[in-house]
Amino acid sequence: MRSILKSFMIFTIMVGMLASCSKDDDNVVAVSKNADKTAIVLASFGSSYPGPEATLMNIKEEVEKANPETTVRWAFTSYIIRNILIKRGEGPFKDIDSPEVALNNLIHEGYKKIVVQSLHLIPGLEYNEVKTLVEEMNVKYKDVQITLGAPLMETDTDMQELVNVVSTLDDLKGKTVVMMGHGSHHEANDRYTRVGEFFAQVKDGHFVVGTVEAAPTVENVIAQLDALNLKDKSITLIPLMSVAGDHASNDMAGDDKDSWLTKLTAAGYKVNLVRKADVKDTPLKGLGDYDEVVAIWVKHLDAAVKALK
């Protein structure tokens, strides 16, 4: 009886070892396959609003078109937004990762070449946190290469390209357009003033830039509009943001006394909003809804891919 039991135990152990080896072999194959591939992480501030979900998926589609058969993952830099979405437990971003988790997952899956593409507008606080993370991960994992794609408005060249694109969009061409950016206490907030100077040179229409949390302020915007002495006081109000989320819906287009819509209306302007469909109360458009704008991010992504050795 003991002999039979001993033989059975030896057989069980051997089967387990074979199964383990087989599983390990599968992992090695998966790792070796991924080691030759490039993965992309799209890093956005994120949004808990339903409208921006479609905007973000549009950005991903454009990225996938430019990078076919490439793994593309999402990461939101805002802990608050990630927490809201995970607790909600539904929608395309119900399991959204932080940039750190997204990178660690890809490294664990065997990817040796990873590009993080920032979907931020300026190289401000959020962008620089991602930049620091990328630098730390490159030090920690010597056999992995991680590069970072620039935000939308990093250089003067980027800003001029954005102006060229936005000023010729069908929704905006030839109109008087007010653009509300987020704003930052970071020194990179100067991009809003600088891009405003580029927009001021547009010959077909008028484009004025302000921010909700820094400078230029909505009061600065109204002063600039007044200085134009417009005969037609009809203006188009849009978010200078990747998506039209909380700030666009409330600070820009809300009904309370402090919203830009309210203040511009009180200043005598007839305010028009750009929506995803020409129906009242449908989601507002963000920059990520325009493929022409997304193409600038994609170009930055291409540069980051080429930077991989």
Residues 166 and 130 in one domain: no
Q: Which of 13-22, 105-114, 125-134 has the lowest mean pLDDT?
A: 13-22
Give the pLDDT band of residue 279 (cuts 50, 70, 90): confident
**Average pLDDT for 117-126:** 98
* 226, part of any domain: yes
Give the pLDDT band of residue 263 (cuts 50, 70, 90): very high
- How high is the pLDDT of residue 299? 98
Residues 273 and 297 in one domain: no
Domain total in the chain = 2
**Average pLDDT for 40-62:** 96
Q: Please state, for a pLDDT cut of 70, what percent of the chain lies above it.
A: 90
Residues 166 and 283 in one domain: yes
Residues 186 and 266 in one domain: yes
* 13, part of any domain: no
Residues 208 and 263 in one domain: yes
Residues 269 and 297 in one domain: no
Mean pLDDT, the chain, rounded, equals 91
Q: Is the pLDDT of residue 227 over 50?
A: yes
Residue 204 C-alpha from the chain's centroid: 29
CATH of the domain at 117: 3.40.50.1400
Residues 80 and 108 in one domain: yes
- How high is the pLDDT of residue 32? 63
Residues 168 and 83 in one domain: no
Residues 131 and 67 in one domain: yes
Give 228-244 pLDDT, tens digit per residue.
999 999 999 999 999 99
- How high is the pLDDT of residue 309? 82
* 165, part of any domain: yes
The yes-or-no answer on residue 300 being catalytic is no
* 17, part of any domain: no
Give the pLDDT band of residue 31 (cuts 50, 70, 90): low
For residue 214, give the nearest of 238, 242, 240 by alpha carbon. 240
* 261, part of any domain: yes
Return the C-alpha torsion angle 249, 250, 251, 252, nearest 10: 40
User: What letter does residue 185 receive in the DSSP assignment?
Assistant: S
**What is the domain range of residue 243?**
156-288
* 18, part of any domain: no
Residues 96 and 147 in one domain: yes
**Average pLDDT for 254-267:** 97
Residue 170 exposed, middle or buried by CB count within 10 Å (0-12, 13-18, 19+): exposed
Q: Which of 120, 182, 247, 300 is catalytic?
A: 182
Residues 120 and 162 in one domain: no
Residues 161 and 236 in one domain: yes
In angstroms, the CA 165 to CA 143 distance is: 39
Q: Is the pLDDT of residue 274 over 70?
A: yes
* 20, part of any domain: no
* Cβ contacts of 252 within 8 Å, gap of 6 or more: 180, 212, 237, 239, 259, 260, 261, 284
Alpha-carbon separation of residue 306 from 22, 46, 153 (angstroms)? 36, 26, 20
pTM of the model: 0.89
Give the phi and the psi of residue 171 in degrees, each rounded to 5.
-70, -20
Q: Is the pLDDT of residue 29 over 80?
A: no
* 25, part of any domain: no
